[in-house]
Amino acid sequence: MLTRTIVRYPGVRVGGAGGLAVQTAELATGHEQEFQERVDADGRIEPRDWMPEGYRKTLVRQIAQHAHSEIIGMQPEGNWITRAPSLRRKCILVAKVQDEAGHGLYLYSAAETLGADREELLDLLHRGRQKYSTIFNYPTTSWADVASIGWLVDGAAIMNQVPLTRCSYGPYARAMTRVCKEESFHQRQGFEAMTVLANGTPAQRAMAQDALDRWWWPALMMFGPSDSESPNSAQSMAWGIKRFSNDDLRQRFVDATVPQAHHLGLTVPDPDLRFDEDSGHWISGEIDWTEFYAVMKGDGPCNRERVRNRVAAHEDGAWVRAAAAAYADKQVARQVAA
């Protein structure tokens, strides 16, 4: 029996300045306990519930950057829509990219329930202050890259995202449920496309192997460094935002994906990869984070162009948005006059 309130978070930050401070501090302790008990009991926090400011901020940042990743992610794949090698593949890719725009929209909406504003979040992205998944700063130089993104990148994303469907914050969990349903199609079509390539002409097989060679390690690095090196992990786990450790998720991904690569007849570009009989796990070689960190910092092949394209779309479209707003205002005025 839950109260489902859908009004926005009121925007009055608990612990605000001046006279409000003492009152809100007392209120906060009681609320804080209730909040933590609810999270510990695997309950849901809904908009307008009291929440620690740190929780709210962490979620806004995470959800916003997740949304930014979806819309930036439209570019590396979107680049291949007009060049897709068959009509069926073209249709599948259009549907996928369309889903990604939709995911961005669900997520911006979820962030807005926390008192954030989509325009502001986009502005932070455009100015480079908020970021997006580093994986999308790699170029898609061949059709097999499109297939690999579906197979590996979306496959890894699913591992990350399924736990979020049980995240403590209701709107985010619900958005993620919708996203995960759609994402499984993305992964399957990617694997199917790779299967066709791997079983195709020598040129197609080489294209597939080359893509795997370039996307394997970045996909593993999507899961983040070992949690011992992630200061924020513990707090996120306590708040029910993060459910499993980075290493756990990465291991799951490797165990699921290596057999898939073998099924394709392709070679995983990890000479140290071995199967450990005792644990039943595929053990990866050492991850070399150097190049990845360079890409993350901003020196990847596509960092500048991704943001530039995104900013251009927004600025080029400003006159359109202004027109829609002007028309809406005129209609209101006409109704009033009538």
Stretch that binds other proteins, among 15-23, 78-86, 262-270, 278-286 (CB under 8 A): 78-86
- Of 140, 145, 150, 175, the one binding other proteins by CB under 8 A: 175
Q: Which is nearer to other proteins, 68 or 282 (CB)?
A: 68
Cα distance between residue 101 and residue 179, in whole Å: 11
Structure tokens at 296: 């993350």
| Count of residues that bind other proteins according to CB under 8 A | 133
Rounded least distance, CB 223 to other proteins, Å: 5
Residues 240 and 237: their CA atoms lie apart, in Å, by 5
The tokens 């530039």 sit on which residue? 308
For residues 46 and 170, the answer to whether their CB atoms sit within 8 Å is yes
335 contacts other proteins (rule: CB under 8 A): no
Q: Which amino acid is at 315?
A: E
Which one of residues 165, 204, 260, 267 is an interface residue with other proteins (CB under 8 A)? 204
Question: Out of 101, 301, 304, 333, which residue is the one contacting other proteins (CB under 8 A)?
Answer: 101
User: Does the CA dihedral 37-40-44-47 come out positive or negative?
Assistant: positive
Residue numbers 48-77 binding other proteins by CB under 8 A: 48-50, 56-58, 60-66, 69-71, 73-75
CB 168 within 8 A of CB 248: no
Q: Which two tokens stand for residue 135?
A: 């994986």
**Residue whose CB is less far from other proteins, 275 or 293:** 293
Residues 121-160 that bind other proteins (CB under 8 A): 121, 123-124, 129-136, 143, 153, 156-157, 160
Q: What's the min distance (Å) between Cβ of 213 and other proteins?
A: 19
Q: Taking CB under 8 A as the rule, does residue 97 contact other proteins?
A: yes
Shortest separation between residue 260's beta carbon and other proteins, angstroms: 19
**Of these, 14, 52, 126, 174, which contacts other proteins (CB under 8 A)?**
174
Could you tell me which residues are beta bridge partners of residue 283?
274
The whole-angstrom distance between residue 181's C-alpha and the CA centroid of its chain comes to 14
Question: Quick check: 330 binds other proteins (CB under 8 A)?
Answer: yes
**Which segment (15-23, 261-269, 274-282, 305-313) binds other proteins by CB under 8 A?**
305-313
For other proteins, the closer CB: 212 or 306: 306
Cα–Cα dist 123/115, whole Å: 16
Q: Are 134 and 300 in contact (CB under 8 A)?
A: yes
Q: At what angle do helices 303-316 and 318-337 cross, to 10 degrees?
A: 30
Q: Which residues are within 8 A (CB) of 311 and not within 5 positions of it... i.e. 6 or more apart?
A: 126
41 binds other proteins (CB under 8 A): no
Binding of other proteins by 24 (CB under 8 A)? no
